[in-house]
Amino acid sequence: MPFNIAIVGAGWYGCHLASSLASLGFRVTVFERNARPLHEASGNNQFRLHLGFHYARHHGTRLQSRDGFLRFIERYPSLSAEIDENIYAVPEGTSLIDFKTYKLIMVSSGIDFVEMTAPDPRLAAIEGALLTKERVLLIDRARSYFANRLGSALRFNCPVGNIVQGDRHVEVNGESFDYVIDATWGHHHRPPIDVYYEPTMLLYYEAKAPHPAVTMVDGPLASVYPTEDKDVFTLSSVVHTPLGRFSSSAEAVACRNAVNSELVDRKIRAMEDHISENLPAFRDNFRYIGVQLAIKTKPVGNFDDRSCSVFQDGRIFSIMSGKIDTIFFATERVLALIESENSLAPIEVAPKIREDIILVPGK
């Protein structure tokens, strides 16, 4: 049955769900309060197409990344790119894990890498390092791709207020739909698990000469990662990137909107100091160009869990994600829930397996 589905939010999750459901014959409408797709967290992050190297402390997240990475390249071959040199390095003393344990975890997860026998000379105080094939997401391309693909199904400048559930339908801004998917990363409606909202600051830098992507693992460490513009990198620090921790989306938005140049100056100094512990020539090799602000929605407690969950409340589904590579999980879960709700009663069939067994004379 071609269900009529409303999706709230045109981030990676809303756009991918809309595109997938439209391919299956569903009628979709995407309500987005901003004027373009991928305007919030989906367009303001570190742009890694994760393979699992970030998540030494969460098995489920690592496996979802490993599988999502391959599916992403197959489904969206032009929306990510290779990185010439992509290094994951374990610093001495400041990492929560030693290099041999880190390496063992990645080997046992089936994620390919090459161990660097002579780590890059730009790195300091490093116990060991891996070269990986992790990629970078191409956000400008993704914006054009989804705008073309979804066409008039995407409604911009359309904030959604109350969602009203009836018996056999649900209303969004006064229009009736069979189902609604809240793909706002918990901003329209709080997910039914304990979450908090974390405004974040990443810094943009221009590299003066070609530079590898370098991610220090595992724990309160810093990283530099390229964007789709090869000379432009983001600088991130697990310690200095978060700007606070709030129990509501509104408070987090207020904190993000209150960022001023004094705070930015402080963060520049702190984050440059942090990365310089392991990349001492950072200030010589990079030039600061600007700031990136976003909001993360995180589950309380499970601090390294970035796996994807889908919740159902009647005809409303809501998505909680920590990364972009789990978009496929979200679609399959939504489809499974819709299918199980609308399938006919199970057909009773007497087992006839013996009729299929080929009789070969034996002992």
46 vs 278 by CB, closer to ligand FAD: 46
216 phi and psi, to 5 degrees? -90, 130
**In the bound complex, which residue of the shown chain has the CB atom lying closest to ligand FAD?**
11
199 phi and psi, to 5 degrees? -65, 145
Distance of CA 135 to the CA centre of its chain: 13
Q: Per rule CB under 6 A, is residue 36 in the interface with ligand FAD?
A: no
46 vs 132 by CB, closer to ligand FAD: 46
Residue 82, Cβ neighbours under 10 Å: how many? 9
**One-character DSSP codes across 96-108:** SS-HHHHHHHHHH
263-282 residues in contact with ligand FAD (CB under 6 A) are: none
User: CB of residue 361 vs ligand FAD: minimum separation in angstroms?
Assistant: 58
Q: Per rule CB under 6 A, is residue 132 in the interface with ligand FAD?
A: no
Cβ-count burial of 50 within 10 angstroms (0-12 exposed, 13-18 middle, 19+ buried)? Answer: buried
58 vs 104 by CB, closer to ligand FAD: 58
Cβ-count burial of 259 within 10 angstroms (0-12 exposed, 13-18 middle, 19+ buried)? Answer: middle
104 vs 258 by CB, closer to ligand FAD: 258
Q: Per rule CB under 6 A, is residue 166 in the interface with ligand FAD?
A: no
Instruction: Give the Cα-Cα-Cα angle 322, 325, 328 (nearest 5 degrees).
Output: 105
62-121 residues in contact with ligand FAD (CB under 6 A) are: none
Q: Per rule CB under 6 A, is residue 14 in the interface with ligand FAD?
A: yes
Distance of CA 68 to the CA centre of its chain: 10
Q: Per rule CB under 6 A, is residue 47 in the interface with ligand FAD?
A: yes
Q: Per rule CB under 6 A, is residue 34 in the interface with ligand FAD?
A: yes
Site track for ligand FAD across 321-350, x = CB under 6 A: xxxxx-------------------------
Q: Report d(CA 84, CA 236) in Å as an integer.
A: 20
**In this chain, which of 87, 183, 243, 275 binds ligand FAD, going by CB under 6 A?**
183
User: CB of residue 154 vs ligand FAD: minimum separation in angstroms?
Assistant: 11
Report the interhelical angle of 59-75 vs 327-342 (nearest 10°).
90
- 58: which DSSP letter? -
**One-character DSSP codes across 174-209:** TEEESEEEE-STTSSS--SS-EEEEEEEEEEEEESS
**In this chain, which of 3, 22, 27, 39 binds ligand FAD, going by CB under 6 A?**
39
Q: Per rule CB under 6 A, is residue 40 in the interface with ligand FAD?
A: yes
β-sheet bridge partners, residue 209: none
**In this chain, which of 6, 87, 90, 160 binds ligand FAD, going by CB under 6 A?**
160
Asked if 310 and 333 count as a contact pair (C-beta separation under 8 A), the reply is: yes
67 vs 100 by CB, closer to ligand FAD: 67
User: CB of residue 101 vs ligand FAD: minimum separation in angstroms?
Assistant: 24
33 vs 58 by CB, closer to ligand FAD: 33
User: How would you classify the pairing of strands 179-182 and 316-320?
Assistant: parallel
195-214 residues in contact with ligand FAD (CB under 6 A) are: 200, 202
Q: Per rule CB under 6 A, is residue 8 in the interface with ligand FAD?
A: yes
242 vs 280 by CB, closer to ligand FAD: 242
Cβ-count burial of 157 within 10 angstroms (0-12 exposed, 13-18 middle, 19+ buried)? Answer: exposed
DSSP run (H or E) holding 15: helix 12-23
90 vs 137 by CB, closer to ligand FAD: 137
Select the span of 56-64, 182-190, 250-258, 266-274 touching ligand FAD (CB under 6 A).
Answer: 182-190
Binding-site size, ligand FAD (CB under 6 A): 37
Where on the chain is the footprint of ligand FAD (CB under 6 A)?
8-14, 31-34, 39-42, 45-48, 50, 159-160, 183-185, 187-188, 200, 202, 294, 296, 319, 321-325
